[in-house]
Amino acid sequence: MLLYFKQLSFTLAVAVFGATLLIACGSSTSSGPGTKSASTPPHTASVTIPQGQDLFTPFILAVQPDTIVTWQNHDTVSHTIMTTWDQSTFLNPQAFSLRAAAGQKASFTFTKPGLYDYFDNTRAKWVDADQRVKANTGVPNFPLAMEGVIWVQGHMSGLPTSANNVIPKGKDEFTTDFIAINQGGTVFWHNSDTDKHFVAVVYGWSVPINPADIGPYQIKGTETAPPTGATIAIPFTTPGLYYYYCSAHADVNVTWHRAQAHKDASEAPIPMEGFVLVFGS
């Protein structure tokens, strides 16, 4: 009988010790010095291709570096997704060309900060003379082109504190579609055209897109400000991505939150629009 109790006590002691060890090991969640923590999962974001629309939504997408962006194609036909040929230190720093089959998806990992202008070259074309994407005639949402912009946020060096943009004579467009400056910088718009033009934000967006109101600002042309037209200066004190248009030659499509060219605009169906990226320290 004594031997039996000794064996039972020993068995219970081993069981208690084992349970205590398991609890201690299983409850460890912190990592001290020299201990590797679990790797951070990648950021993810998505763009949708709605059925029968020949558009990307949202038109503008802001993401962090090292984000996997997935284009989900809900259409019944395939679509291509490719960067335009316009390129600079901050524009399209990573080129890509993808294909999303009908009902399928395609993904790309963005590692470099900057702006990415992309389009579907089966539903729109690149006009080299204007450095713009132009919608194909007959697409469902004409004059809107199947185009999109992705802003990869993050540090960008070497940006100027000022930039110039010109409205050419006889053309309803801004010469430079994409501009990037440092916070506190100024953009100068000069109107070499005969009629007046405006700079106003495309409404319907939220921070970090259009984080501050920048208009509308009128820029007089050579008819009312002879002989060379007027220049306006707009300071940008709030960092973010500003999407603007000329309200005299385009309207805002409230469904897609995009500038849509007037039929009588000289460059229609290309809208008179532009982007200013303001990088904050």
Residue 135 lies in a domain: yes
**Residue 138: CB atoms within 10 Å:** 8
The answer to whether residues 169 and 102 belong to one domain is no
Quickly state the pLDDT bin for 41 (edges 50, 70, 90).
Answer: confident
pLDDT at residue 18, rounded to an integer: 40
Per-residue pLDDT tens over the stretch 173-201: 999 999 999 999 999 999 999 999 999 99
Residue 38: the pLDDT is 55
- Number of domains comprising the chain: 2
CATH number, domain with residue 122: 2.60.40.420
Q: Given a cut of 80, is residue 23 above it in pLDDT?
A: no
Question: 3-class DSSP state for residue 41?
Answer: coil
Query: Do the domain assignments include residue 34?
Result: no
22 pLDDT band, cuts 50/70/90, is: very low
Q: What is the mean pLDDT of the chain?
A: 89
Pairing of strands 217-219, 231-235: unpaired
Same domain, 119 and 204: no
14 pLDDT tier (thresholds 50, 70, 90) = very low
State how beta strands 258-261 and 250-253 pair.
antiparallel
197's CB contacts (< 8 A; 6+ apart) are 167, 172, 191, 218, 219, 221, 246, 248, 249, 272
Please check whether residues 184 and 273 belong to one and the same domain.
yes
Least confident of 31-35, 59-63, 86-90: 31-35
Q: Is the pLDDT of residue 261 over 80?
A: yes
Q: Give residue 194's domain range.
A: 158-281
Reference 68, options 103, 124, 111; nearest CA is: 111
Model confidence band, residue 157 (pLDDT cutoffs 50, 70, 90): very high
Last residue of a domain, one of 135, 156, 177: 156
Same domain, 144 and 219: no
From CA 280, how far away is CA 116, in angstroms rounded? 19
